[in-house]
Amino acid sequence: MTQYDYDLVVLGAGSGGVRAARIAAGHGAKVAVAEEFRIGGTCVIRGCVPKKLYVMASRFHDDFADAAGFGWTVGEARFDWGELVAAKEAEITRLSGLYAQNLEKSGVEIVRRRGVVAGPNAVAFADGRRVSTRCILVATGGAPTQHPQIPGIDYAISSNEIFDLAEFPQRLLVVGGGYIGVEFASVFVRLGAKTHLSLRAELPLRGFDEDLRRLLRDGLVAAGVDIHAGALPTRIEKTASGLAVTLQDESRLEVDAVLVATGRAPLTRGLGLEAAGVALKENGAIVVDAYSRSSVPSIFAVGDVTDRLNLTPVAIREGHAFADTVFGGLDVAVDHALVPTAVFTTPEIGTVGLTEAEASAKAKRLLVFETSFRPMRATLSKRAEKVFMKILVDGDSDQVLGVHILGPEAGEMAQLLAISLRLRARKADFDQTMALHPSLAEELVTMRSPSRIVERA
Ligand code: NDP
């Protein structure tokens, strides 16, 4: 049998790569992981984790308002951007250190430099070292896509830079209505920035249930976000006091920063994949089978670099399944169905299963249960906040096809609802479940009459 230097070399120490490396090492494999940036990847360093910390920071804005309604006198509230950035930095440094420690404890060698594929069984590191390996796992993730090519676009920043801006942007334009665009618009408006959101569509979050899209738009507007639907920037100019942005509708905005969040693309360029014979999609994503194996049998890929479902827990599950299958003697393919997702705007979105548009195309008779109410927490402060919940039920089988929530803790609810939907819960199961009172989630088991019945034509 051929002797290799390693059983596995992983390219990229993000969520998927780290999990795969640790599990493979636990199965007895000799593993190295190459990382040119900080250990932890997008999620830990400049994605989910710092984003959620900033979301938490922004929500104190509403908490102070609620507190007054409960009899508290809150002194003048002031926000210090520098303190938040520093506290965030300390936390992600701690987490990155833990990731590195856990890799080392598992016996994984960390190579702190870029690695590229030098053949089906070879990896070259940036210091010139070349090693042989039985398998390669590409887990290099994704990066913000090229910004729209308009004059002055170089003045714009991406989500990579927004976390660490030296100065708090008092006036911010966010371009793009996906997860990243709406989350940052929601954060910065609450931290005190005059915030604009420019969308090419009428509503944000394409692909989400239409009611959630509409209600989120309304929630952002209510928080003070100035939404410019169908009006993208055409030019950005530097001025004495910041940036002047011209939009397609000829309006002109004066801002301190422009954040472009128009999508992310797989990071495969310059990795030597084409030369090794690895098939890529048009956007650079690595084509893989259900076991994350590429067109070259010794080369695998997990996470955003495969552009399947670009979410951290999915990358982790794919990395784990790969390691169990290739090094643990198991046969694990990842099931990408019924993945819950949250958008950490305020109001928050939590969703699992089919949207109403998808469900009505699938079910002959779709029962739509809906409720909308003011959360108890906002009643005393009289803050205008609404919770919205929608349950989509197949009228013939009674199976719950999708649940969509907008409001506090919607993400937490979606996580638990995903278990029910995976167990193929019927609406009758929801109805028979005792309510927990008083809670927001009890509404999910107390909706009795459909607000609409959609018959397939
Ligand atoms: P998304 O793909 O979610 O959204 C991209 C947005 O940019 C859409 O609104 C799209 O508009 C718009 N857009 C695309 N191209 C252009 C263009 N040329 N000009 C103007 N607008 C354009 O990307 P994000 O960058 O927001 O997020 C990337 C990924 O990161 C997400 O898919 C998600 O998987 C992950 N993520 C997940 C989070 C979470 O789970 N909470 C949080 C953050 C990121 P249109 O709708 O018209 O196509």
Say if ligand 1 is within 6 A of residue 55 CB.
no
Does the beta carbon of 141 lie inside 6 Å of ligand 1? no
Residue 206 C-alpha to ligand 1 middle, in angstroms? 9
With the most atoms of ligand 1 within 8 angstroms of its CB, the residue from 264, 316, 415 to mutate is 264
153-262 matches 341-455 in fold: no
Minimum-distance ligand 1 atom for the alpha carbon of 47: 43
Instruction: Report the 3 state secondary structure along 49-96.
Output: HHHHHHHHHHHHHHHHHHHHHCCCCCCCCCCCHHHHHHHHHHHHHHHH
Per the DSSP assignment, residues forming a β-bridge with 143 are: 265
**Could you tell me the distance, in angstroms and rounded to a whole number, from the CA of residue 24 to the centre of ligand 1?**
33
Does the Cβ of 386 fall within 6 Å of ligand 1? no
Please name the residue whose Cα sits nearest to atom 7 of ligand 1. 262
What are the 10-residue block averages of pLDDT along the chain, 457 residues in total? Answer: 91 98 98 97 97 98 92 92 98 97 97 98 97 98 89 97 98 98 98 97 97 98 97 97 96 98 96 98 97 98 98 98 98 96 98 98 97 93 91 98 98 98 98 98 98 92
The response to whether residue 427 sits with its C-beta less than 6 Å from ligand 1 reads no
pLDDT of residue 5: 98
Distance 447 CA to ligand 1 centre (A): 33
- Identify the pLDDT of residue 1: 60
Residue nearest to atom 4 of ligand 1 (CA): 178
- CATH of region 6-143+265-327, choose from 3.40.50.720, 3.50.50.60, 3.40.50.2020, 3.30.70.360: 3.50.50.60
**Which one of 179, 202, 267 would you pick to mutate in the ligand 1 pocket, going by the greatest count of ligand atoms within 8 A of its CB?**
179
Q: Give domain limits for the chain.
A: 6-143+265-327, 153-262, 341-455
For residue 383, the model assigns a pLDDT of 85
* Nearest atom, ligand 1, residue 178 CA: 4
Nearest atom (ligand 1) to Cα of 176: 7
Q: Which residue has the tokens 């552009």?
A: 307
Residue 66 and residue 377 in contact, taking contact as beta carbons nearer than 8 Å: yes
Distance CA 172, CA 58 (A): 15
Burial 52-90 (b: 16+ CB within 10 A, else e): ebbbebbbebbeebbbeeeeeeeeeeeeebeebbeebee
pLDDT of residue 374: 94
Ligand 1 lined by 233 (C-beta under 6 Å): no
| Protein fold of 341-455 | Enolase-like; domain 1 (3.30.390)
State the pLDDT at residue 253. Answer: 98
The alpha helices in 106-223, defined as continuous H runs, are 159-162, 179-191, 210-223
Establish whether residue 313 lines the binding site of ligand 1, counting it when its CB lies within 6 angstroms of any ligand atom. Answer: no
d(CA 104, CA 110): 7
Cβ-count burial 148-179 (b if 16+ within 10 Å, e if not):
eebebbebbbbbeebbeeeebbebbbbbbbbb
Alpha carbons 203 and 358: distance in angstroms, whole number? 18
CA distance 176 to 174: 7
Quick count: other Cβ atoms within 10 Å of Cβ 275?
A: 11
Show contacts of 240-249: CB within 8 Å, 24+ apart. 242/171, 243/152, 243/155, 243/173, 245/173, 247/198
Active site residue 437: yes
- Cβ atoms 11, 123 nearer than 8 A: yes
Tokens representing residue 362 in the block: 């699938």
d(CA 372, CA 364): 26
Give CA separation, 72 vs 62, 75, 277, 304, in Å: 14, 10, 65, 45
Q: For helices 81-105 and 48-69, what crossing angle results, to 10°?
A: 130
The strand pairing partners of 299, in sequence order, are: 136
| HEC sequence for 378-435 | HCCCCCCCCEEEEEEEECCCCEEEEEEEECCCHHHHHHHHHHHHHCCCEHHHHHHCCC
Pick the CATH number of 153-262 from 1.10.287.110, 3.30.70.1450, 1.10.10.10, 3.50.50.60: 3.50.50.60
Radius of gyration of the chain (CA): 24
CA atoms within 13 A on the CB side of 77: 16
